[in-house]
Structure 1
Amino acid sequence: VVQMLLDAGADVNAVGGYCNTALQAASEGGHQEIVQLLLDAGADVNKQWGVWGHALQAASERGHQEIVQLLLDAGANVNAVGGQQSTALQAASAQGNKEIAKMLLNAGADVNAQFDFKKGNALYTAS
């Protein structure tokens, strides 16, 4: 269905709804094949909007390791901030997603990044 909609001219970077972009929704939902399809269709891997902030944050919070790797390989900014958990590392840390936190740190995530005083940094959210 996603391919059919893209073929019909759907804007791959349109925003709206709870998850904000199709890439964020697919990343949050763990739909690896759709994430790849959207990236291949030109989805902006770093587009930030609303609740999730960005796709990497959504996948990191939900524990989708393969999608996190896809997004990193596609050029996702590992230190992008925004949304309800501020950074992808904070999102992974808040949920205890150890392997994803390790992936993000290996990709250069700033362990002390802080976007919102209420959220603190990754150590704060992990505690």
Structure 2
Amino acid sequence: MLLLDKGADINAQGGRWGNALQVASAGGHEAVVKMLLDKGADVNAQGGCYGNALQAASHRGNEAVGGCYGNALQAASHRGNEAVVKMLLDKGANVNAQGGEYDNALYAASYVGYKTVVKMLLNKGADVNAQGGRFGNALQAASYRHYEAVVKVLLAWGAKSS
């Protein structure tokens, strides 16, 4: 991208979309998203009408996002998108970031039963007993939804019921 080669601030904030990463995500331009991330775009950046880049991308895919996800990692975890979760974690997404309806990525993945994503998050340091969300923590959310495989993983990592 010519602008980046000329010294443009990759994380500049402003306008309806908040930043370049968010606008590329909203447009579904995967190659541009990858390039921006490779050039140092802040994967945890907040702002714009969708809150962050992954929310913009999710909305573009007709996912009813609204403001329910606190950050990109939560949104990807809730959708079970292992490739995006891995990319975000590899680029430094905060695995324990709080906010939104699900309050953290581990809770979001547990609530919808994505065992592989739960394991990925735990392996990157997710707090297995982080409190938040409607049910209190990831173990309670997985238990409520009857995701036995996720419950077993969480218990093996030391999850407590309260």
TM over 0.5: yes
Name the amino acid aligned to 2:120.
L
Which 5+ residue runs of structure 1 have no aligned equivalent?
114-127
Distance 2:71 2:37 in 1: 14
User: Which residue among 7, 11, 14 is the counterpart of 2:42?
Assistant: 11
1:89-119 CA distance string (max 9 Å, x none): 01101100011001101100012x1xxxxxx
Pairwise CA distance, 1:82 = 1.2
Distance 1:21 1:48 in 2: 8
Higher relative contact order (CA 8 A, sep 6+): 1
> Matched residues, percent identical?
51
Q: Would you say the 8 A contact 1:56–1:88 is kept in 2?
A: yes
Distance 1:88 1:14 in 2: 25
Q: 1:46/1:87 Cα in 2 relative to 1: closer, same or farther (>3 Å)?
A: same
Q: Would you say the 8 A contact 1:3–1:37 is kept in 2?
A: no
Pairwise CA distance, 1:85 = 2.6
Distance 1:64 1:9 in 2: 29
Instruction: Name the SS of the counterpart of 1:25 in structure 2.
Output: helix
Which 5+ residue runs of structure 2 have no aligned equivalent?
1-29, 52-66
Aligned to 2:127: 77
Q: Would you say the 8 A contact 1:89–1:101 is kept in 2?
A: yes
Compute the RMSD of aligned alpha carbons: 1.5
Aligned to 2:106: 56
| Larger displacement relative to structure 2 (70-79 or 4-13) | 4-13
Show structure 1 runs of 4+ deviating over 6 A.
none
Distance 2:86 2:34 in 1: 11
Instruction: Name the SS of the counterpart of 1:12 in structure 2.
Output: coil
Q: 1:12/1:98 Cα in 2 relative to 1: closer, same or farther (>3 Å)?
A: same
User: Which residue among 142, 156, 159 is the counterpart of 1:92?
Assistant: 142
TM-score normalised to structure 1 length: 0.81
Distance 1:48 1:20 in 2: 7
